[in-house]
Structure 1
């Protein structure tokens, strides 16, 4: 079966990205064929499409790290007509990905579309929203309580941050949204943020420990922002670190971890076991306000993908972007 796909060809030093027509028989692996209705655009997708970071580790490759669609050829626990999603699992890195009208995926990485979500909503949530949910699960699993604890969300106007703000606020946490874009304050308050701060407002002045300000953190920035967040985390607090948009370095000391018992929890979205993955998606279907999801999301056309990736990296987008295939 012929399908239009966005493909990267070349090598790690230099590659080009273009739409091509290919055959599903060309797919390197997969026993479930899915007609993709929607995909999402995440930070890693932007990096892969523009070549600004070494995301891709195998060439050629179909790009895109998450999808929603309908099974057209079944295997394993699936049957024709099933609504399904796939995200993570090395898509667009080592495994052919989502930006194709038809895809072939191993049954082991395919999961049912959660009850209560449409394919478009699942793509609007995407890997970014799913990662936000994993971060929230890390915080609540540590013992943070709505109505009592304040949570800082860095990069709050982005894909992960905006979903995290809305989930935490709806649960009843006091959400402090950190954004380098002052014009997004209204947007973040509409999502439920109780406070909206600029990056300078959380500077710890280079100190490894400062006044305690929050019990938890969802951090997508890394670098100095993460160091400042750790320095001001409350005793027995937790930081869920899931990104490094601001850099991969971390200038800190052991003092916050030993003297305040702070936990730094890394959150991966790629290789999460299926049971926890399904719990995260089912919780999203139950707890994420559909009206808020619509407010922080936009759906664009398949052909817009390369420009969307560039706009995302250059800070011209807010919230979540889905793509209709």
Structure 2
């Protein structure tokens, strides 16, 4: 008999035996007693079997959920922990830390880089003594010839007086952040050392977060004067401000990009300046959008074009005047002698 039926059948059999004996002792009719006992025995069997099947389904569901959780933690390089006079580490946490299932606070600190131990100690003291949430990053204490392994420790106090949380390997995230930071540094150094190309950076609210030396020379604002101020109040002429703000806000929420074009903006003293302006949107280390503008001063070119246009107009006027006089001269020679 299958395991799911053995216990219900045994319970029903014991009930059948005891109930039948009891009814016979009381002198009940054999057939009526037997019918009553069999009916109640079948009912007990079915109820017990349903209860057993429900418990088995629950056990299998919990097991399946546990396996899925373990797989998710392996994929995320994540583990759990509980603290009650000592740490109890989940299998995932043991893999990350290279420790056993149980550990002391001192044992955890010894596994961390000496430079990070004080920060972890302060965070754990605040959690265990004051109930403050724990969120601290630290490196494992590894030989100097090995690449650093970064951990994120998170935790919260529980109502029963214990503390619980997670530990996660965030080495890949730290490596990506460092690469992005280095890339941003090279980007800024490049434009700091490039003359006559003005570069400005703005956050989602259009506030200045970057202003290179060429921008100082082109627009007349120093870095200190520009930082934190809005784009439209610095270099956008009043008649253009509403449209520029609308175009930037629309781009930031997924609308069309602002095309590169020739624009007439304004300097600090209010005088116009013609630039060829290109725009791009980047994401920073915190996954926040930033807008960068690259402006090339076209003022000299515009002046040259205006002068050329004026020269062409004067040449055209002289040519037209010469042609009129020539026609008038021919008309005078063609009259009677």
Same fold (TM over 0.5): no
User: Between Structure 1 and Structure 2, which shows a larger proportion of strand residues?
Assistant: 1
TM-score range, shorter chain: under 0.3
User: Between Structure 1 and Structure 2, which shows a larger proportion of helix residues?
Assistant: 2
| TM-score between the two structures when normalised by the length of structure 2 | 0.26
Higher normalized contact order (CA 8 Å, seq sep 6+, divided by chain length): 1
| TM-score between the two structures when normalised by the length of structure 1 | 0.27
